[in-house]
Amino acid sequence: MTAYDALAEVYEWLISDAKLAPAEFAASFDDALRLLPPGAHVLDCSCGTGQLAVGLAGLGMQVVATDASEAMVRRTAKLSEEFGAAVRTLRAGWEELPGHFDDSTFDMVFCVGNSLHHAAGAKGRVAALESMARLLRPGGHLVLTSRTWELVRARGSRLDIGDRLVRRNGRAAVVVYRWEIAPTWAEEHHIEIAIAQVDAAGPVLVRSELLSCWPYRYEELEAELRRVGLRTELSTFDPEAENYTVVASKV
Ligand SMILES: C[S@@+](CC[C@H](N)C(=O)[O-])C[C@H]1O[C@@H](n2cnc3c(N)ncnc32)[C@H](O)[C@@H]1O
């Protein structure tokens, strides 16, 4: 059981409006998708509730969606069914992927939405990136999105309390993030997420979960990508911006 198994049921309150519609989520990667041949084989290796995988299938791609959380994989399978999308789903952590797929199977691998920081430290991260790189065909591309941890760490431990209600499935919720920033980069950090569904006519339903994460600097990530045989071809990294995207190709 992973921490995300408990969050899966309420995950829509955590994703932005822009990521809710599968077609819109996929379209946000238009620049990377232009690099693909028609009917390309793609893997979303931290698929969460499946919006990206379903959106990619809607564009005619052959999509496999994997995640370490069984509950997340079930949600992806359910969303695919609802959209009539042919997405193959499988529960697998990053390091388990080479046991399920031959090397060079995919044209593109996605690891998006603040997932990679869940890999345990530099060693875990390199092992995860190595798995992703192995599954890419030569010339294939890894698409990665990340928080700018330089900014997150500079702010220190803190509470972020959503200043508006998030409405999903006819229910409103307040979302709280508690950031536990360790003294050094290499240590385990924590993000505690609480979703309080509020309704004047009924009880407040609270779900909270403590997630472990290991931050990394942008330069470390670049070096680690090179170490696993990936060359950065596009990067939106800006030390002042909250998030960035990296597209790296297999040499
Ligand atoms: C913040 S969510 C992002 C989900 C989705 N990509 C999105 O953008 O909404 C992080 C996801 O990474 C998955 N994850 C965490 N550790 C993992 C691992 N070792 N291998 C594969 N997936 C993992 C979690 O289960 C979760 O679904």
pLDDT tens-digit readout, 104-161: 999 999 999 999 999 999 999 999 999 999 999 999 999 999 999 999 999 999 999 9
User: Do residues 168 and 113 share a domain?
Assistant: no
Question: Which CATH number belongs to the domain containing residue 167 in this structure?
Answer: 2.20.25
CA gyration radius for the chain?
Answer: 18
> Same domain for 198 and 134?
no
- Is 224 in the same domain as 162? no
Question: Hey, what amino acid is at 151?
Answer: L
Same domain for 132 and 177, yes or no, is no
Is pLDDT of 240 > 90? yes
Residue 64 has pLDDT above 90, yes or no: yes
Cα–Cα distance, 14 to 27 (Å, whole number)? 20
Mutation choice for ligand 1 from 10, 46, 87, CB with most ligand atoms inside 8 A: 46
Backbone angles phi, psi at 152, to 5 degrees: -60, -45
Domain identity same for 200 and 162 = yes
136 and 169 together in one domain: no
**Cβ of 115 below 6 Å from ligand 1:** yes
Residues 95 and 166 grouped into a single domain:
no
165 in the same domain as 242: no
Same domain, 120 and 155: no
Buried b (16+ CB within 10 A) or exposed e, 160-179: eeeeeebebeebebbbbebb
Residues 175, 58 share a domain: no
Upper half-sphere CA count for residue 57 (Cβ side, 13 Å): 26
Q: Which of 11, 45, 64, 67 to mutate to test the pocket of ligand 1 (most atoms within 8 A of CB)?
A: 67
Q: Which domain holds residue 195?
A: 150-213
Beta-carbon neighbour count of residue 42 at 10 Å?
25
Q: Are residues 36 and 154 in the same domain?
A: no
Q: 217, 197 in Cβ contact below 8 A?
A: no
47: which DSSP letter? -
The structural domain count of the chain equals 2
Residues 158 and 145 reside in one and the same domain? no
pLDDT of residue 204: 94
